[in-house]
Amino acid sequence: MIFETLDTTGHEQVVFCHNKDAGLKAIIAVHSTVLGPALGGTRMWPYRSEDEALNDVLRLSRGMTYKNAVAGLNLGGGKAVIIGNPATDKSEALFRAFGQCVESLGGRYITAEDVGIDVNDMEYVYRETEYVTGVHQVHGGSGDPSPFTAYGALQGLMATLSKKFGDEEVGKYTYAVQGLGHVGMEYVKLLNERGAKVFVTDINKELVDKAVSEYGAEAVGLDEIYDVPADVYSPCALGGTVNENTLPRLKAKVICGAANNQLANNAIGDEVAKRGILYAPDYAVNAGGVMNVSLEIDGYNRERAMRMMRTIYHNLSRIYEISERDNIPTYQAADRLAEERIAAMGKLKLPMGRGAARFKGRIRGH
């Protein structure tokens, strides 16, 4: 059954990591190493079943292949999930056992932060393996990638506003932001700095209170976020929130946010386009984090990172050109851009090991 799935998804490798003493149940999925070692974050989430965790890691890792390709990185796509509740199940042993599992792949997979994981967790992973990014600045790392993801998403937003409305004045428009975690809160801050009206929601009330008191946002209920009169819907929580139930409710003319896998399926992507809503493909918009952490491999440089963030604007513009040229929805145009690069670079047979072998500028020592 699993191999049938992998035949369709095209994954190279899926690894189940288990350590009873440490309470570790994790899955690492390496989707593609054609462009280089597979880089993608680790998500910790209380999945209701192992199947749910497996499906999530398969979708997320495939998304990383496309994200890294469109971002112009010499990296393939992978992702990991840890089954557990980030609020109660974290421990040094858990993350070190996970780090050993990452290490065992010898650099085919390089990890980083995702939902439920922060830079302190990565500190433990780093004790066991070099193949981790988003490590703390004290080790020569780049720290939490989320502010870069948010800043990159802002670049993507400007390109999208420009395409849809003919100007990129962020403050002129109204936003519905779902999810106020590491990325969402920073994104709300950036919108607020530009004078925008922002509706927000999150499961966590403290985060909602912070967005209201510090960034002047208007709080709405978890389900109400789909009904607010916003020009832009910005999903910044989990995936699949653009679906057959929510789409008919959205007033927005633009969907642009940082969450991975926003469209429940391709048919929804087609329907979004039919309704005249401009969808900014998620993996092109939210590539700021991976661009930032990828620089750790050659020795981190913040100025270079900021320059890279701005390429997100051009990547989105290119996707919209392809969409118009080939008369296809934007999600397909993004896939086409990624697949063309993977095919062309695949013919060059890039040495997969090189990227993984050279983490420069890191300061080891525990």
Ligand X SMILES: O=C(O)CCC(=O)C(=O)O
Ligand Y SMILES: NC(=O)C1=CN([C@@H]2O[C@H](COP(=O)(O)OP(=O)(O)OC[C@H]3O[C@@H](n4cnc5c(N)ncnc54)[C@H](O)[C@@H]3O)[C@@H](O)[C@H]2O)C=CC1
Match 């280089």 to its residue by tokens. Answer: 36
Helix (H) or strand (E) holding 273: helix 266-274
CB closer to ligand X out of 67 and 164: 67
The binder of ligand X chosen from 27, 33, 36, 40 (CB under 6 A): 40
Q: Which of 20, 25, 67, 79 is catalytic?
A: 79
**Minimum distance of ligand X from residue 169's CB (angstroms):** 27
**Cβ at position 113, least distance to ligand Y in Å:** 6
> CA 92, CA 167: separation in Å to the nearest integer?
49
Helix axes 146-165, 302-326, angle to 10 degrees: 30
Which of ligand Y, ligand X, none does residue 99 bind to, with CB < 5 to 8 Å depending on kind? none
Of the residues 290, 308, 312, 337, which one makes contact with ligand X according to CB under 6 A: 290
* 204 contacts ligand Y (rule: CB under 6 A): yes
Measured from each CB, the residue nearest to ligand X is 289
Q: Toward ligand X, which CB reaches closer, 110 or 230?
A: 110
* H or E element at residue 109: strand 109-110
Per the CB < 8 A criterion, the answer to whether 199 and 218 are in contact is yes
Q: How many CA atoms lie within 13 A of 353 on its CB side?
A: 2
Count of residues that interact with ligand X, criterion CB under 6 A: 14
Strand partners, 32: 77
Q: How many residues does the chain have?
A: 366
78 binds ligand Y (CB under 6 A): no
11 vs 164, beta carbon nearer ligand X: 11
CA-to-CA separations, 77 to 63, 89, 263, 321, in angstroms, rounded: 7, 27, 19, 25
Structure tokens at 362: 């890191």
Nearer to ligand Y, 36 or 179 (CB): 179
| Beta carbon of residue 350, minimum distance to ligand Y (angstroms, whole number) | 24
Residues forming the active site: 79
Q: Which residues bind ligand Y (CB under 6 A)?
A: 113-116, 145-146, 149, 178-184, 201-204, 207, 222, 236-238, 258-260, 286, 289
